[in-house]
Amino acid sequence: MTKELRVGLAGIGTVGAGTFDVLARNREEIMRRAGRAVRIEAVADINTERARQITAGRARVLDDAFALVADPEIDVIIELIGGYGIAKTLVLAAIAQGKHVVTANKALLALHGNEIFAKAREAGVTVAFEAAVAGGIPIIKAMREAMAANRIEWVAGIINGTTNFILSEMRDKGLPFAEVLKQAQALGYAEADPTFDIEGVDAGHKIAILSALAFGTPLQFEGAHIEGITKLESKDIRYAERLGYRIKLLGMTQRRSMGEGKEGLELRVHPTLIPAARLIASVEGAMNAVWVKGDAVGHTMYYGKGAGAEPTASAVIADLVDLARALDGPMEQRVPALAFQADQVRVLPVLPIESIESAYYLRIQVADEPGVLADITRILADQEISIDAVLQPEPAEGEAQTDIILLTHRCVEGHVKRAMASIQALTTVLAPLVMIRLEDLS
């Protein structure tokens, strides 16, 4: 009989408990796919009482994750501790002991993945991470394997369910950001400290991983441009709707020619206007979606639950099945961690945000006087920025000010920022300008 795959689970919180339960519930189906039994031999968690309740005697319970690494009976460590302190030490220790690793830890990989993958290659083991991006959506496998024939042009994703829920609620109910955030926390969609989500950091970790997979580069999270949703106002969501767009927190990466045969990468996370007719614009609530454009296949989109106990467990267990299938096979036949062969990974510089090209939404609060729009359009023209659409609502009764909303054609961001500085200096402009990027995704 084929040797079973014996697993050590480090961390049995929400995802860990989901992994334990799904693996037990679907044990026979998983064995039929994997060709061998997959069993969690031991669980390590600081809350041993809760761990014993979940495991109910079906696995040993420890209070030290490093005891899993030292156990010669364990083949694979599942790291679900989170963060990049103890988790990094644990993963590197497991690799040094010749154990495979499965992790859902996008922060760890975005910041330390280059070191971790290099150590894993040296040790002849695998670090699998399907659950690190978009929960139960199998985007890592799709990009590493199914897209292998393609030169990928760009990747764009709604890859943080918390922020997508907040933006959906702001649009549907017209509520301000702060109020919807409290609602999201009460419903469990947002953490007590939601900073990583609402400031775009979580999405930045994920798009850095997807960028490396798409373009065969090292992980370069430190070069990413990241903006969150904390400054978004409900009125901008309403104006976007009137113009035929929806605002989403979008992670985006694409390869750009720099001339003379050189290339660079755009790597960015920010609120983005997307045409309402695009399929990804209809992704609502806490759902995730990733849109990939390849030169051969064209557009493909991957949609589903980006978080949660069982969706994320689905991805963790899929990695275990892959490991079970390849456990006795040679290292050179395994799919490379970042899709490209290690000696073919090459650095492409991350381009500064000022050099990107996009279309733009500008909201300008102005005095309701003749000639204001003419002054603004002249400044834009001086920076070679052409206007695609204008929306100028009637001022409220008794008000001597109004908003001017402009959509530009695609142009260089540095030009837009210079134009904004000049517009802001006009005496008829009464508040700080609002700028949101616009992507057509065609």
Catalytic residue numbers, as ranges = 206
DSSP state of 255: E
- C-beta neighbour count of 176 within 10 angstroms: 12
Distance, in Å, from the CA atom of 175 to the CA atom of 194, rounded to the nearest integer, reads: 18
Q: Which of 43, 32, 34 is nearest to 7 (CA)?
A: 43
Torsion-angle region of residue 191: left (phi > 0), alpha (psi -120 to 50) or beta? beta
Distance, in Å, from the CA atom of 115 to the CA atom of 126, rounded to the nearest integer, reads: 13
Packed helices 234-242 and 161-173: angle between N→C axes, nearest 10 degrees: 70
Tokens of 417: 């920022």
Matching residue, tokens 């302190």? 85
Cβ neighbours of residue 310 closer than 8 Å, sequence gap 6 or more: 18, 21, 22, 136
Matching residue, tokens 């020619």? 257
Tokens of 87: 């988790």
In this structure, are strands 401-408 and 357-367 parallel, antiparallel, or unpaired? antiparallel
In this structure, are strands 262-275 and 387-391 parallel, antiparallel, or unpaired? unpaired
Q: Angle at CA 156, nearest 5°, toward 151 and 159? A: 130
